[in-house]
């Protein structure tokens, strides 16, 4: 049988206590005499004072008869130099690495976006705006204004329009499509596509025959700024007012006054419950014509061609006063080589000559007049062309009058219906002149305004 033996020993002095002398070999600079639990005279050693006990990042704790190392948070391990030491757990390493990467990416994206905004600003000629009375908004202002583009008002060949708020007033923010990109892409398409295959809202440009011509067709920053300067000087009750712009986007973004009642296209063709009266249609026609006449002939600024006259670009306020929009979004001056327009309204002479003039706007306006008196779309009944059909039947009184808006005429008594039909005949005569194939035979917009105003005076006198 094995009997366990417990050895209880101590190094004592001559008097059996710590005050006595002990063997020199048992004394060191890290030991001292203590009254141990088993009696006086033990020689106690603080092992934490010994070198190379605990690794860096841990703290040594002495115990009776030994020691242990405790790693500082968040490290883990036994902390001993000759043991596992202290180390970070894998999940903490992964977390820290992820946080560092995210922070780096955030700073990189912010730096890149700032650099991109600055590049757009310089390319668009933003520095040239200094000293001009044009309010400039930052991209951050646009995002705040439109609440990151939450409410879209419309979309077309020019780009997209969003509703925004500036100084507690509603505004329209127009984000234009890249004019430079359209000039390159569509210019190449025109070489190979048949005209009859083009769809509506196509953008026409002069076809570049070489890289040098392609680069010259780009609209430079100074030209863009000059266009904005011209438009900022436009003050007319029938033209949408430019409130400011942002040059930090790829193409200049325009901030325009908000027109609450939609556009003429929706009012004519979608609002069946509230049809426009003849006098209302005539007022809209006159207001729109006055805007175009002002653009074409005002002495306050250089001549401006709209390039995309159609009902969708004629906005109506709460009093049905027309406001012509889209000046400056794609084609502000005659020197711009890119024309964006809806093929249903584009001048056919332009398709042959590629020469877009103020008389091209007159043709497009003539199509708008046709829609006002017939309440038919420019393309109706499975693709029939309204201007082609109307001109073809113009000399036949019965056929021509069948194309007028019968819903409007049927709501009148017989006498008034006859008079209104005669008024429509006079508007039709103006329309046909606007649609002449020979450009020189088309009237100016100033002449159109004068003739329509005379007609309105006669109607007012007759109705009074």
Contacts for 346 with CB less than 8 Å, ≥ 6 apart: 204, 339, 360, 364
Q: Reduced to 3 states, what is the DSSP secondary structure of residue 272? A: coil
- CA pair distance 323, 172, nearest whole angstrom: 13
- CA pair distance 320, 391, nearest whole angstrom: 29
Structural tokens at position 156? 């077309």
Contacts for 348 with CB less than 8 Å, ≥ 6 apart: 363, 437
What number of CA atoms fall less than 13 Å from residue 351's CA on the CB side? 15
**What is the H or E stretch that residue 171 is in?**
strand 169-176
> How many Cβ atoms are within 10 Å of 343's Cβ, its own excluded?
16
Residue 56 backbone dihedrals phi, psi, to 5 degrees? -65, 135
Catalytic residue status for 308:
yes
Q: Reduced to 3 states, what is the DSSP secondary structure of residue 190? A: helix
The answer to the question of whether 174 is labelled as a binding residue is: yes
Structural tokens at position 323? 């406001």
Assess contact for 33 and 42: CB atoms under 8 A: yes
Contacts for 441 with CB less than 8 Å, ≥ 6 apart: 433
Q: Report DSSP state, residue 208.
A: P
**What is the H or E stretch that residue 140 is in?**
helix 139-146
Closest CA relative to residue 283, chosen from 267, 307, 305: 267
List, as one string, the DSSP characters of 281-333.
Answer: HHHHHHHHHHHHHHHHH-TTS-----S--SGGGEEE-TT--EEE--TTTS--S
**DSSP bridge partners of 352:** none
In the set 141, 308, 326, 347, the catalytic residue is 308
Assess contact for 57 and 75: CB atoms under 8 A: yes
Assess contact for 130 and 136: CB atoms under 8 A: no
Closest CA relative to residue 458, chosen from 279, 281, 277: 279
**What is the H or E stretch that residue 162 is in?**
strand 159-166
Structural tokens at position 301? 């600024």
Closest CA relative to residue 338, chosen from 193, 208, 163: 208
- CA pair distance 287, 239, nearest whole angstrom: 9
Annotated binding-site residues for ATP read 174
Annotated binding-site residues read 174
Give the residue numbers annotated as catalytic, written as ranges.
308
């Amino acid at each position: 049988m094995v009997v366990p033996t417990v050895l209880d020993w101590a190094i004592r002095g001559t008097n059996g206590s710590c005050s006595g002398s002990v063997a020199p070999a048992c004394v060191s600079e890290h030991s001292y005499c203590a009254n141990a639990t088993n009696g006086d005279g033990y020689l106690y050693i603080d092992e934490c004072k010994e070198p190379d006990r605990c690794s860096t990042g841990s703290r040594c704790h002495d115990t009776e008869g030994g020691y242990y190392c405790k790693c500082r948070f968040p490290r883990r391990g036994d902390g001993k130099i000759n043991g596992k030491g202290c180390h970070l757990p894998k999940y903490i390493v992964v977390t820290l690495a992820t946080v560092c990467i995210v922070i780096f990416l955030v700073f990189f994206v912010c730096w890149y976006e700032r650099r991109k905004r600055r590049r757009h600003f310089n390319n668009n000629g933003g520095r040239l705006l200094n000293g001009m009375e044009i309010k400039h908004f930052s991209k951050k202002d646009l995002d705040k204004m439109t609440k990151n583009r939450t409410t879209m008002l419309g979309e077309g060949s020019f780009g997209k329009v969003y509703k925004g708020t500036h100084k507690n007033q509603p505004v329209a923010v127009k984000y234009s499509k890249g004019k430079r990109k359209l000039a390159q892409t569509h210019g190449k398409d025109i070489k190979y596509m048949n005209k009859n295959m083009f769809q509506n809202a196509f953008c026409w440009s002069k076809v570049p025959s070489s890289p040098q011509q392609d680069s010259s067709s780009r609209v430079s920053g100074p030209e863009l700024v000059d266009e904005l300067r011209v438009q900022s000087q436009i003050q007319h009750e029938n033209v949408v007012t430019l409130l400011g712009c942002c040059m930090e986007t790829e193409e200049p973004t325009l901030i325009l006054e908000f027109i609450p009642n939609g556009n003429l296209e929706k009012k004519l063709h979608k609002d069946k419950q509230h049809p426009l009266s003849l006098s209302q249609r005539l007022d809209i026609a006159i207001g729109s014509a006055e805007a175009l006449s002002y653009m074409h002939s005002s002495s306050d600024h250089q001549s401006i061609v709209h390039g995309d006259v159609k009902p969708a670009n004629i906005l109506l306020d709460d009093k049905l006063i027309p406001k012509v929009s889209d000046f400056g979004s794609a084609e502000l001056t005659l020197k711009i080589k890119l024309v964006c327009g809806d093929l249903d309204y584009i001048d056919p002479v332009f398709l042959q000559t590629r020469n877009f003039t103020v008389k091209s706007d007159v043709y497009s306006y003539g199509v708008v007049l046709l829609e006002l008196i017939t309440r038919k779309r420019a393309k109706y009944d499975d693709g029939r062309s309204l201007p082609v059909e109307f001109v073809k039947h113009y000399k036949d009184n019965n056929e021509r009058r069948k194309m007028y808006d019968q819903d409007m005429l049927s709501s009148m008594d017989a006498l008034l219906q006859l008079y209104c039909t005669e008024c429509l005949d006079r508007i039709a005569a103006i329309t046909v002149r606007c649609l002449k194939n020979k450009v020189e035979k088309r009237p100016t917009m100033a002449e159109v305004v004068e003739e329509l105003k005379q007609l309105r005076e006669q109607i007012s006198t007759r109705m009074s």
